[in-house]
Structure 1
Amino acid sequence: MLNERKKLLHSYYQSHQRNLSLNILRIALIYLLLSISWNAIFLMLEVPYSRANIYFLLLPFFLLLIMLAANHKYKVKPIVMQHMVNLFLVFVACCLYYGSGYREAWGYFLAVPILAGLYGNLRILFLYSTVGLITMFTVSYIDPLVKDVFDAIDLSNRVLLYFVLGTFSYLLPKQLNQLYNNQVSMIINSMETTIEQVVKTFIISIEAKDSYTFGHSERVSKYAVELALRLPEFQDKMRLETLRLSGLLHDIGKINIPEAVLTKPTKLTEEEYELIKTHTIVGGRMVEKISGLGHLKPGVLFHHERWDGKGYPTGAKGLEIPLEARILSIADTFDAITSSRSYRPATSTTDAIERLKADSGTQFDPDLIMLLDEVMMSWRRIYKEYNEDLTEFETLFDLT
């Protein structure tokens, strides 16, 4: 799965390439219209201020109209547009060379590497700089325009100048790529900050409904991350971040549950329990509809599934359950056991670990349970830190 940064960069790059191609074509259209009008006026007035061949100018003009119409109708892919535009530029340079009547018309070919470099793609730059150079060399050699003046020295100097501009254009991709990365990084950082704020707001909203679950989401998130760090699948920082956020929002659907049900000190009725079970579906739908949080849905929706298929909401079993959800299930249960509830006291971390092991292969993924001994120390450290913070909080506000 592509991470958000790569997807955003790819989307931004594709959009930029399409807009760049269209802008080049629009500028070319304006230039051709101006050239045709300018030279047509002089030819109609029969004044000696133009040697242009209007037909050579009309040819690329009509071709350009066809290209714009084709893109409007078929939405040509950005990479295809790049090739079309660069081939068109070489063609325009040839038409201007033969149709402008300008003695230095070979200079139009110098625009080819400059415009190709704007795409920020070294392959495109190298390919069309080479095509432009070969075309310029060929037409200059076959038809030098000015007889008895053009020689091998002129040709070599043109090639040298072309190489100089081509080399200069090589610097453009690096600058453009840096610009892309800087802009995407700014967007991503802003988005991540916004997402973090949204997540914290939801956590406060959830835990405000039940004082017994204060800090639950953060602890579950930390327990899950510590367990995931032992797995090769979570060496990717973006996937680990997805798990962290999934842990923070795994109970987001409980916003939909009345406080009387969440804090009930006695056993829930069957109807109340069924209502509690809806929080996974509600939570999955909520994160799915929030921009930037859709990738958290697997963990939020499936964290109450069981390895033996007796969980909810879908009854998925074994490896059918997303890995993030299997990890969160263990972390969520551990924190629930080691936390006080309105209907029972907390259990020690040692007893909680043993209870998790006892349910290996039934409620929990046995491969993940095998890692508990490795994470036991870090889990105890998290448990101690949060319980000290909770005690300090309760003392400060006289809640005990």
Structure 2
Amino acid sequence: MLELEKKLYNEYFQEHRTKVTTYLFWINAIFLLLSCTWNFLFLVFQLAYSRANFPALLGCLGILFLLGIVNHFVKIPSKINQYFMLAYCAGLITVLYFESGYSESWSFFLLLPLLGGLYGEKRILFYYSFLGLGILSYLSFASPTSLYTPDSIDISNRILVYIILATLSFFVLKTLHIIYMKQVNLVLQSMQITIEEVVNSFIVAVEAKDLYTFGHSERVSMYAVALAKYLPECSKECLEKLRLTGLLHDIGKINIPEAILSKEGKLTDEEYEVIKTHPVVGARMVERIERLQELKDGVLYHHERWDGNGYPTKRKGEDIPLEARILAIADAFDAMTSNRSYRKGLTVDEAFQALEEGKGTQFDPQLIDVLQNVKGEFRNIYQKANDPIKEFESLTDLF
């Protein structure tokens, strides 16, 4: 789930980045269009109500629309586009500083950290805050506006106000991250609930066809997770994936006729070939659901053998995905200890012995070694699953 959380988070911010760039483009466009119109009228009617340089504003507007046309046809990636837009904003603010013609023009630079903060990325905020601070500091000393020459106190106050505003922009950034993280968590929770409902529906559909295997999927899932907990390579995300895969490993049996699933005698060769299709059918089913696609390997390969004599692909050794090798042990243990229409289940000790005998042939030898540490948990799961009262409650809940 961590990968999914990161993916959703990145998707949110990519969409957010695109929106902010689009908004800045149109804000700049509207500002420049109004400024150009305003100053053009002043020039036509010879009204002394502005000190701005009309050609400079017109040039900035032309560059902005040129960027818009290029972006429309070239489709610049959003991450690159944000750099172009912020660089343009920095350039526009610098032009306004020189061409607006009044002493307060330095205050335009206060906009730069705010604009950087709106993107919600620390790196962008720091880059453009320091860029704006550097330009403001340099211009305040080297190129003061013509109407007023600031002294050292004025310049220090400018820098102080700029730093305060940049700090406030950082809190804007943090707030954006909090909002988007809450959205991601909400989506993940909703998605998890939906996945659980889909999985449970599948389980009911499969196990309703064969009451002798009722509870098999849940038990296999618990056995598999219990074993995987002792593997250093299995993270929390890996365990959750294995839990769901265990629940769905036999989903393909929904395509098997009930007459074969509940047959009391030995299966014929033809019937066994039909049974062997369930991993492929199951894999095809889960890959059709976007959020279950990552379970495909466990569903498809859980009947492969370490020696390559399994099905459906006859993979062998470590070519078999780890989750499938774990499920093979969990599935075999539960099958051996469960009663079937054609035989009585083995005892737990007999099942452990059978797993040992399959070490290096049917099962991954390293996992069988790890199993020595998990026998107690397997026994607890078996005992809880075979509580007659709980089993009766589960059956009545099903119907």
Runs (5+) with no aligned partner, structure 2? none
Q: 1:72-112 CA distances to partner (integer Å, 9 max, x unpaired)?
A: 33333333223222211110101222233344222111100
Kindly indicate whether the alpha-carbon contact (under 8 Å) linking 2:103 and 2:147 is maintained by their aligned counterparts in 1. no
Which amino acid in structure 2 is aligned with residue 288 of structure 1? E
Deviation readout 1:204-260 (Å, 9 max, x if unpaired): 1110111011000000000000000110011x1111100000000001111111212
Q: SS where residue 230 of structure 1 aligns? A: coil
Residue number in structure 2 paired with 1:301: 300
1:117 touches 1:169 (CA, 8 Å); kept in 2? yes
Partner residue, 1:219: 219
Q: Which residue of 2 aligns with 1:57?
A: 57
CA spacing shift, 1:394–1:263, aligned 2, 3 Å = farther
Identity level (%): 51
Q: Is the 8 A contact 2:203 2:247 kept in 1?
A: yes
Residues in 1 aligned to 2:126 and 2:388: alpha-carbon distance in whole angstroms? 61
Tell me which residue corresponds to 1:163: 163
Residue correspondence of structure 1 range 184-223 to structure 2 within 5 A: 184-223=184-223
Once residues 312 and 30 of structure 1 are traced to their aligned partners in structure 2, the CA distance between those partners, rounded to angstroms, is: 66
The structural deviation recorded for 1:303 is 0.5
Q: What amino acid maps onto 1:227 in structure 2?
A: L
The answer for the alignment partner of 1:319 in structure 2 is 318
Q: Does residue 3 of structure 2 align to residue 3 of structure 1?
A: yes
Contact 2:103/2:148, CA 8 A, preserved across alignment: no
Q: Larger deviation: 313-322 or 121-130?
A: 121-130
1:354 aligns with 2:353: yes
CA distance in 1, matches of 2:342, 2:208: 18
CA 1:3–1:228: 2 relative to 1, 3 Å: same
Asked if 2 retains the 8 angstrom alpha-carbon contact of 1:43 and 1:50, the reply is no
SS, match of residue 347 in structure 1: coil
Shift of 1:2: 6.1
Q: Say if 1:56 and 1:98, in contact at 8 Å, map to a contact too.
A: no
**Secondary structure at 2:197 match in 1:** helix
- How far is 1:341 from its partner? 1.0
- 1:100 aligned residue: 100
Q: Deviations over 1:261-299 (max 9, x none)?
A: 211222222222222111111111111111211111111
SS at match of 2:40: helix
What is the correspondence of 1:232-381 to structure 2 with a 5 Å cutoff?
232-234=232-234, 236-381=235-380
Contact 2:255 / 2:278 at 8 angstroms: preserved in 1?
yes
Assess if the C-alpha contact under 8 Å between 1:221 and 1:248 holds in 2: yes
Q: 1:167 Cα shift? A: 1.7
Q: Deviations over 1:343-394 (max 9, x none)?
A: 1111111101111111111111000011222111111111110110566418
The whole-number CA distance in structure 2 between the counterparts of 1:335 and 1:58 is: 78
Q: Distance between the aligned counterparts of 1:60 and 1:158, measured in 2? A: 25
Cα distance in 2 for residues equivalent to 1:82 and 1:74: 15
Q: Counterpart of 2:145?
A: 145
> Superposition pairs for residues 64-143 of structure 1, below 5 Å?
64-143=64-143
Q: Deviations over 1:106-137 (max 9, x none)?
A: 21111001111122222221221111112122
* TM-score normalized with structure 2 length: 0.94
Contact 2:224 2:242 in 1 (8 A): yes
Pair 55,390 (structure 1): closer, same or farther in 2 beyond 3 Å: farther
Three-state SS of the structure 1 residue aligned to 2:205 is helix
Residue 333 and residue 175 in structure 1: after superposition, are their counterparts in 2 closer, same or farther (change >3 A)?
same
**2 CA distance for matches of 1:140 and 1:61?**
26
Task: Kindly report structure 1 stretches of 4+ aligned residues shifted beyond 4 Å.
Answer: 389-392, 394-397
CA distance in 1, matches of 2:343, 2:167: 75
3-state secondary structure, aligned to 1:265? coil
Query: What is the total number of aligned residue pairs between the two structures?
Result: 396
State the distance in 2 between where 1:299 and 1:396 align: 27
Q: Are 2:22 and 1:22 aligned? A: yes
Q: 1:352 to 1:170 in 2, by over 3 A?
A: same
Q: CA deviation at 1:17?
A: 1.8
Report deviation, 1:19. Answer: 2.0
Of 140-149 and 308-317, the range deviating more from structure 2: 140-149
Q: CA deviation at 1:192?
A: 0.7
Q: How far apart are the structure 2 equivalents of 1:303 and 1:354?
A: 20
TM-score, normalized by length of structure 1?
A: 0.94
Compute the displacement of 1:330 (Å): 0.5
What is the distance in 1 between the residues matched to 2:85 and 2:51?
A: 27
CA RMSD of aligned residues (A): 1.9
Q: Residue 108 of structure 2: SS of its match in structure 1?
A: helix
User: C-alpha separation between the residues in 2 aligned to 1:274 and 1:125?
Assistant: 63
Amino acid at match of 2:179: L
> 1: distance between equivalents of 2:344 and 2:249?
23
